[in-house]
């Protein structure tokens, strides 16, 4: 069941924090995709997408993830992590952002890992300084 846009669990402050994490990475741009804030590496490849209406009407983040990470985190902490529809079959990780204890340092690592999964080696190497 779809939720009307005015009933979606958006939170501008959370979106801004995610935006800061994503746009701090090299060659990242933000655009709407399917009505959601989405971050693209080099304008072509998605590595992170907000989700406020694609999954059980909760505020979340979909992130590319290294092999096996999504399954492990969802099994360990299903209250914080989920398998997102559409991209979960490719190993992407869903992170709930409507929980009271978002670990922003951990989320920053998840975002950087998502970037590394999608970025070519030379671009990914920029994160290593």
Question: Per residue in 74-104, pLDDT tens?
Answer: 999 999 999 999 899 999 999 999 998 899 9
CA distance 51 to 84: 9
The tokens for 79 are 């209250």
Prediction pTM value:
0.89
What is the topology classification, in CATH, of domain 5-119?
3.90.1150
CA distance 107 to 97: 10
Domain boundaries, the chain: 5-119
16-70 confidence digits (pLDDT tens): 999 999 999 999 999 999 888 999 999 899 999 998 766 567 899 999 999 999 9
């Amino acid at each position: 069941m779809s939720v009307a846009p005015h009933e979606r669990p958006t939170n501008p402050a959370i979106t801004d924090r995610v935006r800061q994490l994503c746009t701090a990475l090299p060659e990242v741009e933000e655009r709407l995709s399917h009505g959601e804030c989405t971050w693209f590496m080099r304008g072509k490849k998605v590595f992170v997408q907000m989700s406020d209406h694609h999954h059980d009407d909760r505020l979340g983040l979909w992130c590319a993830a290294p092999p096996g990470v999504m399954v492990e985190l969802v099994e360990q902490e299903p209250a914080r992590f989920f398998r997102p529809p559409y991209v979960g079959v490719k190993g992407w990780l869903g992170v709930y952002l409507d929980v009271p204890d978002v670990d922003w340092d951990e989320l920053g690592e998840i975002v950087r890992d998502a970037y590394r999964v999608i970025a070519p080696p030379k671009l990914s190497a920029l994160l290593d300084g």
